[in-house]
Each structure stands twice: as C-alpha cells, then as structure tokens.
Amino acid sequence: MRFLTLFLLSVFSFTAFAAEPVPDNLEPLPPPPVFDAGADTGQPEDEPQVIITKPREAVIEEFRVGGKLYMIKVTPKIGPPYYLVDDLGDGKFVRQESLDSGFRPPRWVIKRF
C-alpha cells in the first residue's frame, strides 16, 4: 500500500513539472565581470581600517569604518589597555576598561560525544 501511494504521488509530481511551459523570450545571462586583483588600490568602504601610532608613553590604535572614527584603543606602557568608544556616533567617546560586557550566560553540558 505504501509503495502504491508513493508511486502515485511521484507520478502526480512529474505531471505538475511537465505542465509548466517554458517562455519563448528567454535571453542568456551576461558573462560575469572579470576580477582583476591588481586593480584594487584601496580597501572597501565597509572594511575597518586601523591606524597605529606609538608616542613615548602609549600605543594608540584608531579604528575607522568608511573614514569615520568609532573606537580608540590606548595601551599605556604602565597599566592595562583601555578603549574609548563612540557608541552613539556623535563624536563623544566614553572610556571602557575592556570591550567585554561581563554578561555570562549559563552553560551546561547536554551530551558528550
């Protein structure tokens, strides 16, 4: 009985695909653009840029996307590094000791393989 049901369903599906007519006005797709690795002189707009400056007292890393500065990492010679982050995009930077929010969701081992 299962075989007969499966056979009938497959026959009906084949007839549904066979009934679809193919349009007469189909055109071939244009060829894809040629990629030239030597032509790329800059970075894409959405790729972050990092500028590192090293004055005597600290190392400063500026992170930009699309030319806009969004984060500064300051690594002093003495002490832990800290970040200046522009969360709202208004040019006002807020100091954060780390980029870790401190949120730790609980984790359980469900099954080991």
Q: Is 96 helix (H, G, I), strand (E, B) or coil?
A: strand
Q: What are the tens digits of pLDDT across the range 51-90?
A: 888 888 899 999 988 888 888 899 999 888 888 888 787 8
Question: Hey, what CATH topology would domain 45-96 get?
Answer: S-adenosyl-L-methionine-dependent methyltransferases (2.20.130)
Q: What percent of the chain has pLDDT over 70?
A: 74
| Predicted confidence (pLDDT) per residue in 11-65, tens digit | 766 666 665 677 788 888 888 888 766 555 555 556 778 888 888 889 999 998 8
Rounded Cα distance, 89 and 107, in Å? 34
What pTM, to 2 d.p., does this model score? 0.49
CB atoms within 10 A of CB 60: 16
CA distance 10 to 44: 49
Residue 105 has pLDDT above 80, yes or no: no
